[in-house]
Every structure is written in structure tokens, then in C-alpha cells.
Amino acid sequence: MASNRCAVCKILNVTCEPTCICKPHFPSNSTRFQDVHQIFGAENVLKILNSLGEVEREIAANCLCYAAEARRRDPVSGVYGMKLHYESILNDVEQEIKSALNELETNLGPDQVPKYFDIPIPDDFLNTTASLDSYIEKIKNLTTVEKNNLLQFWKRENQKMGDDHRVDGASTSAGPSTALGEKHQ
């Protein structure tokens, strides 16, 4: 019976019941639980999964795996470091696109350059397991048109925020502090 224990029950050295909530997410032969256990601890994972409903458990398990893998890859910054890295890549690509659009406008005229696109999103996008490698491969395999579509989508989302807000929602319209102005007079 011990060989049927899930990875969490093996670590905690307890009997794994047939109704164990961890078994579907971390089976005994799963290697993805090693990082999760090392970063968050098996007891904490069990507490988290116990506090959630059945639907949320799958999402939480995937998020824990994703965060643990990110922390393993970058022990200092984790997911935030990855966000900054990919944000930098997107900014570089955005600059390349702006340059290409400027060149197209120069050669073809501004009316001939397409402005907006529909973004194809796979049906299983939210149901896939959280593996950084699969996301990285998907990004690498995007065509130039798909990358352009993705950037157009993010531009539209940022524009919805309004001209006087940054992407994170903080206002940029306040201007310089009055205290700064008084010091310089």
C-alpha cells in the first residue's frame, strides 16, 4: 500500500487515503513535488490545498509548481525576476515592432499599415500545467505576426488604463511635489 501513497503523504510519512486531496495533483511518481516541497514545505502545501475547493486545488497546485520552479531557477527573485526578464524581452520586441512599423509607414504610407489584430488564444490555455519550459517554447515558436498580435493586445490593454496612469495603475498626473519646488526657489 505504501507504493500508492502520493508524494505529499510520502514526505509526511502518513497513510494516503483513497480520497487524499493531494493524490491527483502530486502522484507518487511525480517529480514536480520535489521543488514545491523544498520551497514551501509539504505541510504548508497540505494546508493550502485543504483550505480550497476542488476546482481551486488544481489551479493552486499548478501555481505552487510554477512558483517553486521559478524560485529554483532564480533563488533571489523567483517569479518576479522572471516577470522582469520577460518584460525586458517584450520591450525589446516592442521596439523592433515600432521600428518596423515606422519603416513600413515610410515605404507604404501610414494608411497602408494595419493597426489592430485579433489574438488567437488556444482553447486549453488556462488548463495547461504550469511548466516554464512549455511557455518558453510556445513564446519561441510564435511567428512574427503572432508576436505582433500579442504586443498589439498589450498596447490596447495599457491604453484602456488612460494616459495619466502607468501600467500598474499608479497615477502619473500629479506632477512634481510642491516640497521639491520650494527647496529649489
Q: Cα separation of 54 and 65, whole Å?
A: 17
Length of the chain equals 185
Residue type for position 19 = T
Q: Identify whether the C-beta of residue 45 lies closer than 8 Å to the C-beta of residue 6.
A: no
What is the phi-psi region of residue 136: left when phi exceeds 0, alpha when psi lies from -120 to 50, beta otherwise? alpha
Neighbours of 3 (CB within 10 A): 8
Chain centre to alpha carbon of residue 115? 26
Per-block mean pLDDT, blocks of 10 residues, the chain (185 long):
76 89 85 88 91 89 90 90 91 90 83 61 63 65 74 59 48 47 44
Cα dist from 89 to 75, 84, 101, 108, 162, whole Å: 21, 9, 18, 28, 24
pLDDT at 1: 42
Nearest to 100 by CA among 92, 153, 140: 92
pLDDT at 108: 80
pLDDT at 51: 93
Q: Which three cell numbers stand for residue 108?
A: 507604404
pLDDT at 145: 78
Chain centre to alpha carbon of residue 175? 32
Q: Cα separation of 33 and 41, whole Å?
A: 10
Cα dist from 182 to 24, 81, 178, whole Å: 63, 38, 6
Chain centre to alpha carbon of residue 13? 33
